């Protein structure tokens, strides 16, 4: 079984020399054997063909996912647990470790082993899967780890764009012409945009983590409902305000927000291994109050989201493979135009109690790569607690400023919640 990498996957893969890795950390209370973990990982590979895949290049240097006849097991790295924060140091180490994708799968596992509590990390190359796929894999892994006989099914994998885009759209002369025209114009524009001679030196990467307790998280969600805005919009607006307060005129007043393609393309199931993303940009009106701004931003988010078209977007990108080199160069060498990537995974619906162990927490995933501004914030909610991971690099956003932005976000949220209580 094999398939060519799509445009977005090729962009994330690069030439393989620079890692673009996503890390999903979680904490379990219980006692485990390495054999049990190996078995659970093997079951994931049995279900999902692309977890067995290596990457091979054809005579045109085009990369393909290719499943070998003999499965190469998911590598496991064992670390002795010394502190509560070991998972952060191991996450940063995994960011910088490349995948030998010609001989090993694009997934590996880290077990930070303690006597009663273990932290574990799934590590993926970002070209393999997105956050939604990662959460599905975590759910399946825990299910089998608890009960080796558990049924998790078999994935019917996506073998190309034709498995995502409906046939009547893919074969439409009008839509194909539209996609190709947009793709050609975009390729020409990208080629003409001036870029620097070399990529920005991102220097030292860092990870900042914090969590709201259940009471604060519940109050925040309730506050957003009372304002008739989503948690995503509220947090996005707060992030923008925090960047403006800390960075002043250096702030861009823009955050990029990934949108799960599964909302628009039902052909992509929750447990599909897939890495294609849609995106909208959020900005705020700096001349009006925060609350007035929230309502305007919510309307704008809804308008932009409604206009997203995953099918045409995929067709446009697939028509522009010859522009990949120029596009990658633009991302690496072009000037940054947004403050950060902000991704809200929402409520993670994975059980926390199992027969032999308990899932104490899921830390929000972290991801960092070589394609331009690395500043990224990911939030998720598990067991009623809102969790934040804030990644960045000194060359784009100094850690001292990132810490000040974190403090500003926390303070602004608490001020809003206190104001709600008082009113």
**Domain CATH code at residue 38:** 3.30.559.10
Best-predicted range by mean pLDDT (71-80, 322-331, 414-423): 71-80
Give the pLDDT of residue 386: 98
Q: How confident is the model at residue 422 (pLDDT cuts 50, 70, 90)?
A: low
CB half-sphere exposure, 218, CA atoms < 13 A: 5
Q: 137 and 242 in one domain?
A: no
CB atoms within 10 A of CB 56: 14
For residues 152-175, average pLDDT: 93
What range defines the domain where residue 56 resides? Answer: 2-146
Instruction: Say if 413 falls within a structural domain.
Output: yes
Burial call 171-189: b when 16+ CB within 10 Å, e when fewer: ebeebeeebeebbeebbee
Kindly calculate the radius of gyration of the chain based on its CA atoms and give it in whole angstroms.
22
Q: 297 and 208 in one domain?
A: yes
| Residue 188 reports pLDDT greater than 90 | no
For 66, the enclosing helix (H) or strand (E) is strand 63-66
Q: Give, as one character, the DSSP assignment of residue 356.
A: S
| Residue 420 reports pLDDT greater than 90 | no
Give the pLDDT of residue 195: 76
Mean pLDDT lowest among 150-154, 185-189, 201-205, 305-309? 185-189
Nearest CA to 238 among 364, 421, 385, 406?
406
Give the pLDDT of residue 208: 98
Instruction: Say if 407 falls within a structural domain.
Output: yes
Q: Which CATH number characterizes residue 408's domain?
A: 3.30.559.30
Phi and psi at residue 243, to the nearest 5°: -60, -40
| Residue 421 reports pLDDT greater than 70 | no
Q: 386 and 248 in one domain?
A: yes
Q: 265 and 344 in one domain?
A: yes
Q: How confident is the model at residue 46 (pLDDT cuts 50, 70, 90)?
A: very high
Strands 358-362 and 376-382: unpaired
Instruction: Say if 328 falls within a structural domain.
Output: no
Portion of the chain with pLDDT greater than 90, in percent: 82
Q: 350 and 215 in one domain?
A: yes
Give the pLDDT of residue 90: 98
Instruction: Say if 190 falls within a structural domain.
Output: no
User: Model-level pTM?
Assistant: 0.94
Give the pLDDT of residue 276: 82
Instruction: Say if 165 falls within a structural domain.
Output: no
Q: Count structural domains, the chain.
A: 2
Most distant CA pair in the chain, distance: 68
d(CA 336, CA 372): 7
d(CA 306, CA 264): 10
Q: 213 and 106 in one domain?
A: no
Task: Answer for the pair 113, 78: CB distance below 8 angstroms, yes or no.
Answer: yes
Q: Is the dihedral of CA 415, 402, 130, 298 positive or negative?
A: positive
Q: How confident is the model at residue 198 (pLDDT cuts 50, 70, 90)?
A: confident
Instruction: Say if 153 falls within a structural domain.
Output: no
Q: 281 or 331: whose pLDDT is higher? A: 281
Q: 389 and 285 in one domain?
A: yes
Give the pLDDT of residue 257: 95
Q: Three-class SS of residue 370?
A: coil
Q: Which of 146, 163, 178 is the last residue of a domain?
A: 146
d(CA 106, CA 115): 29
Q: 211 and 133 in one domain?
A: no
| Residue 222 reports pLDDT greater than 90 | yes
Task: Answer for the pair 258, 251: CB distance below 8 angstroms, yes or no.
Answer: no
Q: 24 and 112 in one domain?
A: yes
For residues 188-207, average pLDDT: 84
For residues 49-58, average pLDDT: 96
Task: Answer for the pair 55, 65: CB distance below 8 angstroms, yes or no.
Answer: yes
Q: 224 and 140 in one domain?
A: no
């Amino acid at each position: 079984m094999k398939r060519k990498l799509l445009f977005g996957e090729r962009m994330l893969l690069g030439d393989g020399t620079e890692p673009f890795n996503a890390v999903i950390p979680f904490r379990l209370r219980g006692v485990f054997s390495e054999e049990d973990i190996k078995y659970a990982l093997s079951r994931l590979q049995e279900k999902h063909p692309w977890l067995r895949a290596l990457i091979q290049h054809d005579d045109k240097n085009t990369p393909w996912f290719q499943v070998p006849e003999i499965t190469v097991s998911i590598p496991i790295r064992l670390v002795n647990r010394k502190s509560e924060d070991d998972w952060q140091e191991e996450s940063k180490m995994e960011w910088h470790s490349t995948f030998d994708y010609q001989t090993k799968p694009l997934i590996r596992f880290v077990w930070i082993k303690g006597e009663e509590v273990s932290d574990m990390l799934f590590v993926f190359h970002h070209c393999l899967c997105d956050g939604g796929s990662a959460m599905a894999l975590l759910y399946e892994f825990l299910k089998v780890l608890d009960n080796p006989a558990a049924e998790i099914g078999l994935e019917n994998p996506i073998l190309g764009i034709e498995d995502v885009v409906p046939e009547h759209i893919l074969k439409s002369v009008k839509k194909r012409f539209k996609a190709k025209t947009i793709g050609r114009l975009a390729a020409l524009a990208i080629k003409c945009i001036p870029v620097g001679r070399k990529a920005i030196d991102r220097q030292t990467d860092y990870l900042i983590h914090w969590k709201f307790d259940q009471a604060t998280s519940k109050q925040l969600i309730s506050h957003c409902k009372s304002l008739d805005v989503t948690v995503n919009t509220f947090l996005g607006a707060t992030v923008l305000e925090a960047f403006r307060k800390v960075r002043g005129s250096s702030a861009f007043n823009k955050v990029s927000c990934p949108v799960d393609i599964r909302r628009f393309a039902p052909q992509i199931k929750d447990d599909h291994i897939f890495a294609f993303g849609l995106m909208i940009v959020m900005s705020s009106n700096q001349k009006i109050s925060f609350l007035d701004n929230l309502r305007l931003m919510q309307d704008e988010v809804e308008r932009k989201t409604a206009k997203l078209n995953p099918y045409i977007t995929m067709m446009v990108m697939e028509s522009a493979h010859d522009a990949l080199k120029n596009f990658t160069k633009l991302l690496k060498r072009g000037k940054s135009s947004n403050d950060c990537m902000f991704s809200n995974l929402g409520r993670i619906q994975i059980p926390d109690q199992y027969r032999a162990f308990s899932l104490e927490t899921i830390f929000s995933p972290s991801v960092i790569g070589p394609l331009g501004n690395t500043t990224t914030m990911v939030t998720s909610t598990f067991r009623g607690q809102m969790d934040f991971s804030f990644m960045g690099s000194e060359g784009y956003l100094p850690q001292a400023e990132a810490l000040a932005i974190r403090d500003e976000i926390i303070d602004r949220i608490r001020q809003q919640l206190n104001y709600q209580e008082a009113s």
